[in-house]
């Protein structure tokens, strides 16, 4: 008897989620080729990141000198706000 009550609870949920599962499967089929595209890009980006890291350090060291200048861009023009 408990099994029947459980089945009556689960069956409507299954009917509700079944179409969603079809959509999820379609998305999986769409994403799979994209992963093949992204993988080589990661291999290209990884070496570049090792070049960017020292630049970040340089910028961080320059920030105390840059910050007081309060340089801002307005309408494409650089202004020195005080």
Tens digit of each residue's pLDDT (9 = 90 or more) over 30-56: 999 999 999 999 999 989 998 999 999
Mean pLDDT of the chain: 86
Q: pTM of the full predicted structure?
A: 0.39
Q: What is the DSSP string of 14-52?
A: HHHHHHHHHHHHHHHHHHHHHHHHHHHHHHHHHHHHHHH
Provide the pLDDT for residue 76: 64
- Write the CA distances from 41 to 27, 32, 36, 45, 47, integer angstroms: 21, 15, 9, 6, 11
Backbone angles phi, psi at 79, to 5 degrees: -125, 155
Residue the block writes with tokens 């570049």: 48
Question: Rounded to an integer, what is the distance from CA 65 to the centroid of its chain?
Answer: 33
């Amino acid at each position: 008897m408990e099994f029947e009550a459980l089945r009556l609870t689960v069956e409507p949920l299954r009917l509700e989620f079944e179409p969603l599962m079809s959509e999820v499967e379609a998305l999986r089929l769409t994403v799979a080729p994209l992963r093949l595209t992204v993988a080589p890009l990661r291999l290209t980006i990884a070496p570049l990141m090792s070049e960017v890291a020292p630049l970040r350090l340089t910028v961080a060291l320059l920030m105390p000198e840059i910050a007081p200048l309060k340089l801002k861009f307005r309408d494409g023009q650089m202004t020195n706000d005080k």
